[in-house]
Amino acid sequence: MKTIDFNRSDFYSFKKKILFRDFSLKYKKMIIKQKNIINSEIEDISSLDYIRNNSIVFINKNFMFKNLKKNNVQIVTNSDEVYNYHNSNVTLVNDLNALFNYTSNELFLHDDHIEYYDEFENINNSQISKFAEIEDSVSIGKNCFIGKGVKIGKNSIIKNNVVIKSSIIGENSIIGDNTTIGSTGFGFDFKNRGATNLHPHLGIVLIGENVRIGSNCTIDRGKLDFTIIDENCMLDNLIHIAHNVKISKNCCIAAQSGISGSVKIGKNVTIGGQVGLAGHIEIGDNVIIAAKSGVTKNVADNSTIAGFPAMDIRKWKYNIINERKNRYK
């Protein structure tokens, strides 16, 4: 799936541009030092994957030292290494997470803000945002919520009691009853817990063509960019897909499985029921993951794995047979 250069303000009300100078005055207690900050107004936040013009990018130590000057980007970091590497447009801070939260909340309203605003029409007892773009041929069931900026492609079917926000859905896709798509990801830092300290999520969910999502699933949106479920994927019921996950085309996931944040899954992957994938791992193409597996690390293309921690399925079976032989008589 080609990711789309989406317009954040289609989904989240833009509050106002901020001169970075004013911003750094406001949060000066959190700033250790900075050099040659940009003069212009800040109007967005970028991830390193999708650099937007006139934005702030928040960088921790995993940064790969991109040249960000051409985009008029201000770097905010908690890493001395990153700070020293750049000779302009860089600010060193202590608490990167907190400053990310403040910045996001100053630039955009989102649905964890009480002031978040949208306008609705009641169509067949579903609440459809006036700012959603839904093809005429789409079928929407009863008691649904379709929020601001949502786009739904031709001939897709949204069943009943479905909640969709901050999402773009392709053609010929089916979303099952009581499913939630585009909800806030579960991002936080352990120091500052609670609802008001959660990371704002200003990204979206991208669902490709011919995708089938079952009933009572939850698919969280990306933090700044995308959660992706690519074309021809089939998801069963009660599945959890966390923020920033990318699932490539032709994948099949059985009921009650959960994919943690930022996992990347290749093409033609088949995942059994009640499987869990740890965060930030990569699963290759054509992988098969047996039911109830717990996958804790990257998996190579064409592997078949099972167990927890998941291992090659032949090894898993061997271990089980061995255990049966040598133990209990």
Q: Rule CB under 8 A: which of 60-99 touch a copy of itself?
A: none
Q: How far is the CB of 165 from a copy of itself (least distance, A)?
A: 8
Assess 260 for contact with a copy of itself (CB under 8 A). yes
Assess 119 for contact with a copy of itself (CB under 8 A). no
Q: Which residues pair with 99 in a beta bridge?
A: none
Q: Which residues pair with 127 in a beta bridge?
A: 122, 145
Nearest residue (CB) to a copy of itself, 89 versus 180: 180
Given candidates 38, 92, 107, 211, which one binds a copy of itself under the rule CB under 8 A? 211
Given candidates 13, 79, 127, 286, which one binds a copy of itself under the rule CB under 8 A? 127
Q: How far is the CB of 102 from a copy of itself (least distance, A)?
A: 17
Q: How far apart are CA 49 and CA 2, in angstroms?
A: 14
Q: How far is the CB of 17 from a copy of itself (least distance, A)?
A: 26
Number of residues that bind a copy of itself (CB under 8 A): 89
Q: How far, CA to CA in Å, does 127 sit from each of 112, 121, 169, 256? A: 19, 6, 17, 28
**Contacts (CB under 8 A) with a copy of itself, residues 224-243:** 231-234, 236-238, 240, 242
**Contacts (CB under 8 A) with a copy of itself, residues 11-30:** none
**Contacts (CB under 8 A) with a copy of itself, residues 175-194:** 176-180, 183-184, 186, 188, 190, 193-194
Nearest residue (CB) to a copy of itself, 9 versus 127: 127
**13: CB partners within 8 A, 6+ apart:** 108, 109, 116, 117
Q: How far is the CB of 110 from a copy of itself (least distance, A)?
A: 11
86 as an active site residue: the answer is no
Q: How far, CA to CA in Å, does 171 sit from each of 38, 132, 183, 219? A: 42, 15, 21, 18
**194: CB partners within 8 A, 6+ apart:** none
User: Based on C-alpha coordinates, what's the Rg of the chain?
Assistant: 22
Identify the active-site residue in 201, 240, 243, 280.
243
Q: Which residues pair with 228 in a beta bridge?
A: 206, 246
DSSP-based three-state secondary structure for 320: helix
**Contacts (CB under 8 A) with a copy of itself, residues 268-307:** 270, 273-274, 276, 278, 291-292, 294
DSSP-based three-state secondary structure for 239: coil
List the one residue out of 83, 78, 75, 80 whose CA is nearest residue 20.
75
Assess 40 for contact with a copy of itself (CB under 8 A). no
* CB distance 40 to 53 below 8 Å: no
Given candidates 98, 157, 281, 313, which one binds a copy of itself under the rule CB under 8 A? 157
**Contacts (CB under 8 A) with a copy of itself, residues 240-259:** 240, 242, 250, 252, 254-256, 258
Q: How far apart are CA 251 and CA 178, in angstroms?
A: 22
Nearest residue (CB) to a copy of itself, 49 versus 133: 133
Residue positions annotated with a catalytic role: 243
